[in-house]
Amino acid sequence: MIEAPPHPDGTKPFRPAWWLPSPHLQTLWPAVARRLPRVPLVRERQELPDGDFLDLDWAGPEGGTGRAEEGSPLVLVLHGLEGSSSSHYARGLLARVHAQGWTGVLMHFRGCSGEPNRLPRGYHSGDTGDLAHVVSLLRARHPGQPLAVVGYSLGGNVLLKWLGETGQSAPVDCAVAVSVPFDLAAAARRLERGFSRFYQWWLMRSLTRRVREKVARGILPTAFAAHARAPDFRTFDDLVTAPLHGFASADDYYARSSSRRYLTGIRVPTLILHAVDDPFLTPAAVPGRDEVPSAVTLEVYRDGGHVGFVGGPWPWQAEWWLEERVTASIAARLTRPGSSPL
């Protein structure tokens, strides 16, 4: 566990705000109280090879369609479960990236951009195919820009799994993963305990509503309407996620999709940020330093909650440490004199 790590990129060590003394306050306060920063976003629809689509939200020169300065970083953002470009952490990072003169783009997982996707499937914690497709697109379209990928929560799990699968051939320059559910089975168990059941209830409302909407539109068989009444993640993953995405069961899905088993294959410089008090995961499910290769920097803090890490002296002077740490890490990797993309 790191309490006050020295950061060569100049980032101050994380100090939790005294007025957010618990992991639940660190998790919930930014989600409900933060005023989203304004940043111009331009949406682009990407048609996928299987006939489905996903939406990209761009922030940058001319909404990401203009020419960026040669060598200026391009930052791809992956949101968490049921997130979008309106999630506080995603919008905050896109605004920070835009303010620094970089180009940011958020990839919405299928069905998360406000419109149901077309196929009788969705997205899940181990689905790396769409990420690979978008990275390939960005590399072809912006060959002169170094590429960083930042994933939060579920998006972080997808990112780490993909980096481990692709190893040295991963066509990105650096990565950051935040508040990752490294062990999906352990995360499902944790979200059935104590106040963490609130997060499960909140996310399940969104997931089951999405299933009911797709049944009503004829995208999913009517049998899934009953499955949408699943009371918890494990039941939902057994009845919905697993059969729709080729897994034998929830246990099969968790085992094959948890990023912890893929960490040893990562060869791209990667920063992992996590809090011991994350209410989505037990400390025992967080990997140790002996589980990550030399390309990975693992920073585990005592406090921070789930995608929280809020500091500052007062609520009206909140400091969004995650955005500072993430962009400083990317800048140190990609904008040093003499640095170049892969």
Torsional sign, CA 15, 281, 122, 158: positive
Residue with tokens 């835009």: 98
What pLDDT does 328 receive? Answer: 96
Q: What are the extents of the domains in the chain?
A: 1-181+265-342, 184-257
Closest CA to 105 of 82, 75, 150: 75
The secondary structure of 179-198 as a DSSP string is: S--SSHHHHHHHTTSTTHHH
What pLDDT does 172 receive? Answer: 98
What pLDDT does 339 receive? Answer: 42
Strand partners, 78: 107, 151
What pLDDT does 144 receive? Answer: 85
What pLDDT does 36 receive? Answer: 94
Q: In the CATH scheme, what is the code of domain 1-181+265-342?
A: 3.40.50.1820
- Flag residues of the chain having pLDDT under 50: 2-4, 337-342
Cβ atoms of 56 and 147 within 8 Å: the answer is no
Task: Give catalytic residues, as residue numbers.
Answer: 153, 278, 306
What pLDDT does 12 receive? Answer: 83
What pLDDT does 4 receive? Answer: 42
Closest CA to 161 of 124, 207, 203: 124
Closest CA to 282 of 176, 151, 159, 192: 192
Distance CA 172, CA 153 (A): 20
Torsional sign, CA 192, 194, 195, 196: negative
Cβ atoms of 103 and 59 within 8 Å: the answer is yes
Closest CA to 208 of 184, 181, 250, 239: 239
